[in-house]
Structure 1
Amino acid sequence: MSDVPQSEGIPAISALATETSNPATADIDRMSPLEIVQALNAEDARVAQAVELVLPAVAQAIEEIATRMRQGGRLIYIGAGTSGRLGILDASECPPTFGTAPDQIVGLIAGGPIATANAVEDAEDSPVAGRGELERLQLVMLDTVVGIAASGRTPYVLGAIEYAKSQGALTIGIACNQHSPLEQQVDIAIVPLVGPEAITGSTRLKSGTAQKMVLNMLSTGTMVLLGKTYGNMMVDVVATNYKLEQRANNIVQWTTGLDREQAAALLRSTQGETKTAIVVSRLHVSPEVARAQLAAHNHNLRITLEAMQS
């Protein structure tokens, strides 16, 4: 990764905690295979502790993202390299898991789609490119932009965040270094401090793991607040393959007491809509009434069932 001149106000990469040498792995090239993985595992054990310390910020972010998404806002992840790939991964898994529209949760990466599989390292050095990505999405105030950068100094991400703030969107930053430009620029900073990497500067390791954990919490927590689950069941699952069809069937069985064949027939009658099927079975109404009641209660299954049973 090329560094950015100090005159641009970005701290030198050598000053970052994630770029310092880790004494615990200084002799990793002399270790046996078992010793190597033991050393890596010991470093990974520090990640959950680092994330635990930033949970209040994650909770605040979830609450504010959900508030905006209820009004039609989007959740947009933007990053470079590993950070960008993690954002795209999280965004891509939300439609089948939670039934979100493809444009509701979006992942952007420096260098464009080709960078998801091939390194385009110099793309991260352009703040203009980050801004341009959000301009093409026609960003609005109800949107949330999550800048992901282990260093907290990636120009592509900083350019995007600066533009997002100018448009009144909510800005969130996920970094693994303290007092970074990203932390100072965003509305909500999430900064799990994982310390030096096992391989110096390889932020795909502990930093990447911490970012993945935080992204899991952001999307999952937001979806829970939006009523995308019933208890811990993904009742908005989109059954696009055999595995997901079976998952939907299991959910209907667990929540209604029907057997497998009955649940399958019910799902066929509701075009695979798990929530609708549960309302039909539990409240003995038609699919049309079930859909109308779910819509009247913001598609929240628990609230719909409680309201119709009262």
Structure 2
Amino acid sequence: MSPLECDTSPGSGLLKDFSLEITGKDLRDLQQAVAGIPRGTRVNITFLANEDASVRVHAAEVIKNLGFRPVPHISARRLASREELGSYLAALAAVGATEDVVVVAGDPAQPAGPFEDSLAVLTGGDLTAYGVRSVDIAGYPEGHPKIPDEVLWQAIRDKTEALRAQELSYAIATQFGFDAGAVVRWIERLRGEGIDAPVRIGVPGPAGVQRLLRYAKRFGVSSSASVVQKYGFSLTGLLGTAGPTRFIADLQSAIDPAVHGEILVHFYTFGGVRATAEWVRTARAE
């Protein structure tokens, strides 16, 4: 089926196996949204600087008990020692939550310990020792404000090689963005690099426009007038809300599995788990 022949409704294709991202503070919201989220859904747990590891471990346990698949983040530069990483993985293993993880470098400019970047964690041998079987690594379809594009591409190549060498399953989870065209072009280059792993496209869940713009600024995501207009909201309508309907429809119309491979959607909920779950439930029913 060619891209132009694809069903472009938001409920088709891309939403068949979505994932969510929450913080340890979002558990109550997640519990209240359980009925609207398919069992087995992947739920990522962010690695916040102001949260103790026990908060993330507790979140992973709750997520698993709710019938979902916990996917804890590991932030390389926030780890003060290899012992801290081992302790964290051991605690996650104790609640059955190490099979799937996300490994990122993290925001600090200087590492708190021995891990300079995510590659250092991936090659250290700690992950497989604690039962990790699948790893998500980061991708930046619209670039990174502090890292040159070619450095980002080399990082993906290096991490892919390291994961393949350990025979670990892996996928690439992207930063959220507003420009579907940029995402598709990035996927095409990724496939051109010979990287055929599944890609989880980061998408903001429905939220207030001001909140979306704040997060965009925080994470260096382009939010120019032309880009956000494509997404479906105007900078003059700051008091309104915006959802991902147009963005996902644009992706759906452009994605051809024969060319782009396995493409999934990963929702950044930004504290709105119930709103995101309801949006997905409605879109999948259309």
TM-score tier, shorter chain, comes to 0.3 to 0.5
Asked which structure has the greater RCO (Cα within 8 Å, sep 6+), the reply is 2
Higher share of residues assigned strand: 2
What's the TM-score once normalised by structure 1's chain length? Answer: 0.30
Larger radius of gyration: 1
TM-score (norm 2): 0.32
